[in-house]
Structure formats: C-alpha cells, structure tokens
Chains A and B, each alone.
Chain A
C-alpha cells in the first residue's frame, strides 16, 4: 500500500469522518429531523454503493477467470472453417433427394448426363470403343471415377473386373457401350455383371448397344439393351432415362476413427473411386507406412521430386512404394503434376504430401521437358540448401532399399567430378542378366528412371541452356547428348532399385512393355550393403576393371554367342567375350548381341569405354568391343572378335516412338 494513489473510490475515509462528526453532534441535532433524515439516507446510499462495487468486483473477477479458461468456443470456429474447405458433401442432404440420369449408347456416340450436366460425352471416331463406366457418389451425385474398358480387345475385361471389384458397395454405377464391347468380354466379367443385377450385360452380344444404371450391391435402377440384327450392323441407339434416389451422407461414408489420417482418407474417399482397399470401411489399408529409419542416412535432407502427369492410379501405386521405402522423409517429397488435374492432387493430399500443379504452356514432348525444368527449378528453390535432388516419375515402383542405396553412394557425386548422375535403374538389368544387388557399375549412358541430380550441374549447366519450348526435344534425350554429358558417367546398380510399371494395363504399347520392361529385375531385399563403393571412382574403377579382365576366363569364340551354351553351366565365374567394334560409334555387333540376349537393343546402353558388364547364368559376363575399347589389349592374340551381321534393313520395329 506504499504507493497508494488517491482515486474517486476513496469515499470510505470521507464516510468515516462524516460518522465521527455525526456522533459529536448527535445530541445537539436530535431535534433537527431533516438533518437526521439526511444522514440516514446518506448511510443507505453509501450501503447501496458498497453493494454495487461488490457486485462489479465479483463480475470482473469472474470475467477474468472465464477469459483465462476460455477454449471451447474457438475450436468450433476452426472446425467450421475446415468444413468449408471440404467438398460440398452435404449438398445431397438438401431438398433434392433424386438425381435424374440419362445414359446413351450407340455405335458412334455415348454420353451420360446427371441432372442435366453432361459428365461423359464421346463421339470421336476410332476412339473410346468398349464399355464406359462411371461411378457416382450415392450421397452427392459427384462423379468419382470415369473409365473406359475396350472389351473388344483381350485382357481389358480383366481390368474392368478388377476395377468394379474395387468400387465400394452402395455407389451408383453407370455403364454404356460404344461401338463394340463384347468380343473379349469373358465369363468372369459377365458373371460380375450378373451379380450386379444386370440382365443384358451377361448376354451382351456382338455390336449390341447397352446402357445400365445400378447401385453396387443394391438394386438395378435402369437398363436398356438393343440387339444387333446382323453381324455387319449395330444395335439401335438406346437412351436410358432414370431417377436415382440419393442416400444420406452418413450412409455413404465409413465410420473410421477420427484421426488426422482418417480425415485425409475420408476426404479422399468421398471424392474418388477405384483405389481399392484404401477406402474399405472395415479394414482400410494404411496410408502411413512408417518404414524403418536409416541409421546415418546421407539422404535424409535430399529433396525428392516426383514428376507426374494425369495418371492418378499410377501415382497412387508409386507413392505407396516410395513411402514404404526405408529411410524416406515425407516432408522432403514434392509431387509436380503436369496440368491442372484434380485427381492426382487428391492422391497427393491423401498421403499428406506437398503437391504442385504446373499449368502447361507448350505441347507434346516439349511440354514434358518444360515440366521437368519447372519441377527441378522449383525443387532447388524450395530446398535452397540441398546439394542434390532425387528425381522420380509416377510410373516407378521404388525398392525398399532405394534410400539406403543412395545413402551409400551419394558421396561419390560429391567427390568425383567425372560423374553425371546416380541412377537406380540398370537398362540391361533383366531377370536373366542381373544378379548381384551389392554391385555397382559406371556407365556412359544416362538411364534416368529414378536418379540423383547434382545442384551445381543443374544450376550452372543444365538450367541456363535447357531446351526452350519451341525446340520440341525430349529432356532425357537432350541430357544424353554429348554437349551436356561431356564425357561424364553415371553410377548404376546391377539390380535396379526402381521398376518401370508404366505401360501395364494399357493395351497401347503393351507389346513394348512386355518386351523391354516386364522382365526387369527389381531388388526386394532390404538393407543391402553395397560392395566397395569407393572403387567406383574414376581411377579406382579402371583398376577394378583391369583386375576383372585379368581374372576373367576367355570364352570359346567359335560358339554362337546367342546360344545358351556360349556360357558354361557354372556359377560365380567371370567370363569375357570380345566383339568387333571398329570405332567408338560402331555398335553393330553389340546391338545384335543385345537382341539375341533379349536385353535393351533400341539404342546403346550400359557401356563403359567399350565394355559391357552383365550376368549370365549367375556368372559375371564381360563384353569388350575390339579394337575401339582401351581394354582390347586384354584380348589374347589368338582370339578373333565376334562379328554379328545386322539383319537386312526393313525394321518396322515397334516402339521407336516410345524410347525410354
């Protein structure tokens, strides 16, 4: 009380004085009633003031306490704002409880309209043949998936069965046929259609038209079918108009525990279909994987750029494998989507990753190339301290020890200027030509498909002269050009740490994928310890190659190298063969050899100074091009290098357009 400040509240002192004055004069003034009255009223007023002050104090203290403990109200506010961000899920619970759906099927045109909005329209010639399938959310009427299965062609019906089985029960299913959809519609698929309640589907015939609306696992809501009268003509166009009652939002959703993860899952599952058990109500597949961390990882802070287009199912598969790899750090991953597509972004959000959309500005290959440039620039901008970046594509499976592989080898990029990249992909690493997951090679070609880029290489060399949009170049072809590569090499593993699943399931170029990618070896062993990583440095590698060649047994050059018996039936031996290679660009014999070994032969890959290293029958198999290779000196004088004649020029070879 030492620094008491006088204030208007000081009344009590005055009152006390007043009281003593009153006592002194009490008797003198007893007769003065008026004065007495005045004093009494004064006292009462004073009492009242005290009461008021008391009440005010109580209120004040109370408010302070409430303020201090206040917490429930704002939380509600926040939830509300979150709710606003979510898709307008509750629309269906409004007054409109019925969707009116129109489905049209004919030879040259199909369309589907929901409440007057066209959600599918395909009247392009020579395209979109087969069964078109659309999945609607039963509570909101939103389109959750749109697919076309060309069941005129083989295997497409299997994909359709796979897809339809993944659709959650209760969803609204719409099917319509364009042109022809029965030729390769096999019994399994027909049985599935029957189980959905369809009458005409299982009996679908050649060039019939068919439109179907039903609920998965529930009643059929409408179906129309028109038989083709003759082999050479089509069924009459059919137009199916039907009402689809909407169900309540609660019914359409699963009751997962309310966690951050499930909130992501719910948002995803209410928007899209066709991702299988991730949206299963009973036993959803996890979306967080928590793989083992890598002890002493050297790549913990290396950003990972995933380059994606509009193939959300691929992206989903890719991200699952990436997030399951040991030592992955999700916050370092950025997915770059080429185009303003929603579904890939939904997949990215499902896994809680960072996604960036790139609005395309140019066309064709140049567009991919510009997308790469923007993605790489952005990656190094977002992680300004990163010395490297890992570049992945949406159609790759990632090996469980991918990061372990990089962690063990990344220092090479820092210490050896003669390196261009580290790649997880061995172009020549097929099931029958790769063996040793601990073994690394140096190669002059740049394989891509999961690789590490050095910041300085990008920032100082590649970015400034990256091909401009009008140049229509493939970025990877451009990177392989001698002007860019400047004689530098890439480190690759014998057994690839990535798997290119790209073309699986799409019949377009399925042949190409089958021939060149399907049989690729992919490491599934976790925690492989790489052998002798430092021997991959420029000079050490030469020593290593010389050692190998010195201990290698020279094969019998009189035999046909394409024959299996060219290599003896041993295990763990090292063999060498010499082929003719007149100069650095002469790959005639090599290409023929690659062809008959069933490895990559579309261009030259995996060579190091005229030397190829691979495995045959569990033996290390070296191929040296004589006389162009500096290793030719290891050739015993008695041996004549193998020469294989190229076949006469006619090659209508497939897939020249799709070089990887």
Chain B
C-alpha cells in the first residue's frame, strides 16, 4: 500500500511538472519570439510587437529628440525600404489607428537617424538626458574636415556619430554636416583606442564604413507604428544614394606640400583662368545634373584635384568623364542651351565618342566617354587631320564623391591608379608640355577611321 502510494505520488508529481513544463515551453516560445522580432506576432496580428526592444528604443529616442529639439530624420535603409513600399498607405494612416507594429519591430540591430548639425541649437546636455532615459551612448568625434583646406587651423572637434544603446537595440545617429557645394556630409566611423569594440556590432552598421555625401533632402513628417518621424520626401532617391555615397576628402596636406615645392601660380592670368574654369565646371555640372547624367573629373582636372586640390592654371581646359551607358542624345543640345556651343565631336556612340564644348574666355570643356571591357575601361581619341584613332586604357574603377572648388563632384575612388595610368608614376612633377597623342603612358594606337565615316566621326565647328 505504502509502495503504491509512493508510486502514485511520484506519478502525480511527474504529471504536474509536465504540465508546468508545457506551460513554460509555451511561454518560452513567446519570450524567444519577442527577442527575435516580429516574426511570430505578425501572423497573429496582436499588439505584442509593440513591446519589442526595437520599438521601445525607437520610441524613447523619438521622445528624446522631440523634447530636446534635436533635428533628426530617419535614414535607416531597411525601414525606409519598407516605408517606401507602403508609402501611400503610410501617408493615409491616421495617428491612432495603428494596430500592428510593421516597421520599427522588424528584427535588426540598429535604427539609423541623421542629425542635421547646422540646425542643432542646444548641443550641450542632451547626452545626460539620454542617459537618464536609459540609453548608453557613445560619441565619436573627429577634427572638422572643413578646416583641412586652410593652413594650420585646429579647432574644437565635431561630433560625427552617436550610438545610443537601449537593451539589445541601438540607435545610430549619423551627424550630417553642411559643406560648401550644397550637400550634407557625414564622417567615417573610426574607433579610437579607448572605445569598447564590443559596445555594439559595429560591422553591421549601415553608415560610417566610409565618409559619405548626400544631396540635401527635403523632409516630410509621417506617423508609423504610432511614432511621428521625419523621413526624406523622396525615400527612393535617398535609398538610391546610399550605396554610392562614399566620399573622399582632397589630400590637403599633400597639396600644401606640393605648393611648398612648386609655388602656386598667382598671376592675374592664372587667377582668371581658374575663375573661368570653375564657372565652366559649375555650369557643366548643373547641366548634366538636370539631365541625370553621372560624370567625374578626368585627366588634367582630376590630376589638379588630386595633386593640388585646385585647378591647374596652365591646363587650359576642363575634362570630364562619362560612362557610355549614361550617354543621352540630348547632351549636346542641353549644353548648347546652357550657352556652351559644340566645338567638335569625335567618334560615335558605339566607339570612341568624345565631345568638346566652347566655354567663355577660351576655356574648353572636354567630355570623354568611357567604355567598359571585362578587365579594363577605356576612352577613345581621334586625330582630326589623319583620322587616326587612339585608345586610353584605365584599370577598372568606381565613383566616389569629393569636394572640388566648392562643388560636390565624382572622382574615381581608385584615384591613384587612374592618375598613374594617365600620367605615369611621375604625376607629382608638373609638366607644362603635354602631347595627348604620345605623352600618356596608357595610350595605344587604335587603327584609323574609314574615310567613308569621317563626316560622322570627325565633326569640327
């Protein structure tokens, strides 16, 4: 009897504990789902997602920014993508009616916001308030690149990034600074010695791997997941900019060293040329931007940027490169409308296209079209007298933003390879006589145009 009792008790205990275990398993599953984001709650349509750490972190941050007047807008690529897909719906949603957390509860490690530094009035003190709200914040500062071009100025460091962590989620605040050329710039997130490398998984950040440049976006206010946030008016445009936003600074230090060695040309002619070249470049950039054609600084203009952060006064022209796939048939007429008549046109769209426009004060604008092969890029040249063709080879390159004569323009990211291809290893030494048919180390003869095509491929005005 006693023995049976013992067994029964044991059995009962086992039963209750299994019941407990079952309950716990059920509970544990919820706990896990909350941790991993809205994966499970989505199908249920419950409000559970709103308890997620992501949403809570974002909510606190939005509260903080609105109470402290911190001028931020949302730039998180993942969330902007989602918003963009449901843009109409998002705009129509009235404030209170959100039943699901569809954006800010998506599983991710970071939510990225941009801070417009020039609109920020009370920089002091917000850090403390953020920490009182439960955020752990990290501030990454650096020297101001806008002072780099000017001799030996050292100033107060400017903030580049803030990372504020709340539980397992972190808000990444990318500080956008205004730069000459009407664009916004953010810095490279460089971890200095004393910074805790495990503070957040830095590798997963969507911004900060490189410095970046963006057009100044117009903003709009929207309400998503019950939170009011500012986003770029055209999320698509902003999203398109992100992968190509990498920015490289001019090498001001090296440029100063260059001028110490070779002295700047400050004659009236040099200054006049620089001024007209700058105006021509600005006009060309404006015209091409209107057409939506990408371009970069090429040849002498690129060398001037890289070597001396300025226009080379004796170069006599402005050189731009354009990928042939970006060619548009109305380029010529657009330039003509802008007051730049076509001077000559060599080659054709299929082969060795080169356009040249006449700017003011005898400054010429040369546009070289680049063709892509499997392992190199090239552009063509044509000798008008003989119909001889030339080919200039370049290693493959991608485009980066930079600032040049108060403008945001593209240059090849792999600038040094590009310049060495064009000017050889001795590019640092100024050369005033340059024969474009023979001097460049990357030039190759490329046959001759058939006489029957001359009328088309050699047009002089």
Contacts and interface: CB of A to CB of B under 8 A. Distances in A.
A384 B14 contact: no
Contact of B11 (A3, A12, A19, A340): A19
A384 B178 contact: yes
Q: How large is the interface on A (under 10, 10 to 19, 20 to 34, 35 or more residues)?
A: 35 or more
A283 interface: no
Most chain A CB within 10 A, of B7, B120, B124, is at B7
B136 interface: yes
Interface stretch (A61-69, A441-449, A574-582, A617-625): A61-69
Contact of A43 (B10, B27, B120, B406): B10
Contacts of A11: 21
Contact of B20 (A54, A69, A71, A352): A54
Interface string A8-21: 01011001100100
A586 to B, nearest CB: 31
Nearest to A44: B10
Contacts of B53: 68
Given A71-B136, A75-B131, A384 B152 contact: no
Contacts of A12: 18, 21-22, 25
A591 B357 CA distance: 57
B152 A354 contact: no
Given A46-B17, A381-B180, A384-B180, A359 B154 contact: yes
Nearest to B272: A464
B217 to A, nearest CB: 15
B160 to A, nearest CB: 15
Given A74-B136, A331-B121, A383-B178, A53 B153 contact: no
Nearest to B183: A384
Contacts of B14: 15, 19, 43, 46-47
Nearest to A40: B10
B149 A381 contact: yes
A69 B134 contact: yes
Interface in B92-134: 118, 120-121, 123-125, 127, 131-134
A385 interface: yes
Interface string A346-386: 00000010111111010000000010001001101111110
B150 A68 contact: no
B266 interface: yes
B22 A384 contact: no
Contacts of B181: 384
Contact of A50 (B6, B21, B406): B21
A359 B14 CA distance: 81
A216 B132 CA distance: 41
B152 to A, nearest CB: 4
A355 B157 CA distance: 10
Contacts of A60: 31
A357 B28 contact: no
Most chain B CB within 10 A, of A16, A81, A356, is at A356
A378 B150 CA distance: 7
Contacts of B178: 383-385
Interface residues of B, number: 62
Given A70-B134, A78-B127, A382-B146, A374 B13 contact: no
Interface in A1-51: 1, 3, 9, 11-12, 15-16, 19, 22-23, 26, 36, 40, 43-44, 46-47, 50
A460 interface: yes
A355 B155 CA distance: 6
A623 B97 CA distance: 76
Contact of B266 (A23, A50, A382, A468): A468
A357 B180 contact: no
A57 interface: yes
Contact of A464 (B125, B167, B194, B275): B275
Contacts of B63: none
A468 B151 CA distance: 13
A511 to B, nearest CB: 36
Contacts of B149: 377, 381
Given A11-B21, A384-B181, A19 B154 contact: no
A263 to B, nearest CB: 9
B147 interface: yes
Interface string B401-422: 0000010000000000000000
Nearest to B40: A3
A50 B19 CA distance: 10
Interface string B3-15: 0001100110111
Nearest to A73: B136
A260 B124 contact: yes
A356 B153 contact: yes
A274 to B, nearest CB: 24
B168 interface: yes
Most chain B CB within 10 A, of A1, A46, A60, A382, is at A382
Interface string B133-151: 1111100000010110111
A357 B11 CA distance: 82
Nearest to A74: B136
B275 A381 contact: no
A359 B152 contact: yes
A96 interface: no
A547 interface: no
Given A357-B155, A384-B181, A9 B131 contact: no
Contacts of B24: 53-54, 57
B156 A354 contact: yes
A260 B125 contact: yes
B27 to A, nearest CB: 7
Nearest to A15: B18
Nearest to A465: B271
B69 interface: no
B17 A50 contact: yes
B59 interface: no
A54 B23 CA distance: 11
A260 to B, nearest CB: 5
Contacts of B20: 50, 54
Contact of B150 (A36, A71, A81, A381): A381
A356 B155 contact: yes
Contact of B153 (A44, A67, A357): A357
A71 B131 contact: yes
Contact of A358 (B22, B153, B406): B153
Contact of B131 (A43, A69, A78): A78
A381 B146 contact: yes
Contacts of A40: 6-7, 10
Most chain A CB within 10 A, of B25, B56, B120, B181, is at B25
A358 B151 CA distance: 8
Given A40-B10, A378-B147, A464-B274, A384 B134 contact: no
A77 to B, nearest CB: 8
Contacts of B155: 354-357, 378
A70 B146 CA distance: 38
B179 interface: yes
A292 B413 CA distance: 50
B54 to A, nearest CB: 12
B182 interface: yes
A378 B168 CA distance: 41
A39 B153 CA distance: 83
Contacts of B136: 70-71, 74
B309 to A, nearest CB: 13
Contacts of B27: 57
B273 to A, nearest CB: 11
Contacts of B461: none
17 contacts: A3-B43, A19-B11, A23-B11, A26-B7, A40-B7, A67-B168, A68-B166, A68-B167, A70-B134, A71-B135, A78-B131, A336-B153, A356-B147, A356-B155, A378-B146, A378-B153, A378-B155
Closest 10 CB pairs of A and B: A356-B155, A74-B136, A12-B18, A359-B152, A384-B180, A50-B17, A381-B146, A71-B134, A43-B10, A68-B167
Given A19-B11, A43-B11, A47-B14, 8 more contacts: A3-B40, A19-B15, A54-B20, A60-B31, A356-B147, A358-B152, A382-B144, A385-B178
